[in-house]
């Protein structure tokens, strides 16, 4: 089509052998926010997956999490999982 440009991109998909979160226990008061980093690794490369990984909290009435940002919303304990 006239006036339409075309671009091509090569995509390489890399399989990760492990995902690691940069912090163990995180403690904070209600309303506090903490950021953590997740990295994935295969046999030759380590890369930051903080914004692309799936994050979840075992108890969202205690802690919510999105893109590595944990917000403390209530008293108690929760496990944050990243995959």
Transcribe 22-80 into DSSP letters. S-S-----TT-EEE--EEEE-SS-EEE-TTTS-EEES-TTTEEEETTEEEE-SSS---E
The DSSP H or E segment spanning 21 is strand 18-21
Angle at 40 between CA 26 and CA 27, to 5 degrees: 0
Rg (the chain; Cα; Å): 18
Q: What is the pLDDT of residue 13?
A: 65
Which residues of the chain register pLDDT less than 70? Answer: 1-14, 22-24
| Residue 19 · residue 82 · CB < 8 Å | yes
Q: What is the pLDDT of residue 3?
A: 61
């Amino acid at each position: 089509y006239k006036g339409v440009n075309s671009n091509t991109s090569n995509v390489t998909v890399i399989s990760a052998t492990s995902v690691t979160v940069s912090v163990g226990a995180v403690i904070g008061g209600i309303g506090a926010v903490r950021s953590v980093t997740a990295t994935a690794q295969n046999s030759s490369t380590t890369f930051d997956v903080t914004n692309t990984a799936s994050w979840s909290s075992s108890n969202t009435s205690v802690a919510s999490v999105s893109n590595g940002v944990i917000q403390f919303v209530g008293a108690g304990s929760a496990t944050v999982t990243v995959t």
